[in-house]
């Protein structure tokens, strides 16, 4: 949250969950991940940030965006997007969520 504030992003809500361990989180399926996102929603939020890297969200970007009705930015998705950006590449992946929906450079 501090890094978001440093970047000028206001956090309007927060949902903490205790899954016990990253190994347990890594076993979660699409339904559990979607449930986590839905529990995290705040009516004032323009986006949802899911900073847990152990969640397997690679194929869920557009699904999560649609369920939440706003962009859902996962740790892995944002990390890959930034790596591509730093490499000068703008990939388009229709199912990967809003960051990969169109060229950004």
Q: Chain-wide mean pLDDT for the chain?
A: 87
6-16 pLDDT per residue, tens = 888 888 888 88
Predicted local confidence at residue 22, as pLDDT: 87
User: 95 lies in which domain range?
Assistant: 2-100
pTM: 0.84
Domain of 41, CATH number, reads 3.40.50.12500
- Domains contained in the chain, number: 1
105 lies in some domain: no
In 3D space, the residue among 19, 23, 20 whose CA is nearest the CA of residue 36 turns out to be 19
7 lies in some domain: yes
21-38 pLDDT per residue, tens = 889 989 999 999 999 999
């Amino acid at each position: 949250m501090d890094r978001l504030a440093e970047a000028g992003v206001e956090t309007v809500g927060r949902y903490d969950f205790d899954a016990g361990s990253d190994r347990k989180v890594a076993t979660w399926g699409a339904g559990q991940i979607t449930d986590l996102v839905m529990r995290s929603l705040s009516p004032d939020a323009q986006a949802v940030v899911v900073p847990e890297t152990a969640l397997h969200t690679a194929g869920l970007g557009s699904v999560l965006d649609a369920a939440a009705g706003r962009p859902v930015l996962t740790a892995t998705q944002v990390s890959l997007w930034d790596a591509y950006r730093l490499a000068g590449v703008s990939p388009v992946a229709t199912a990967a969520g809003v960051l990969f929906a169109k060229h950004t450079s």
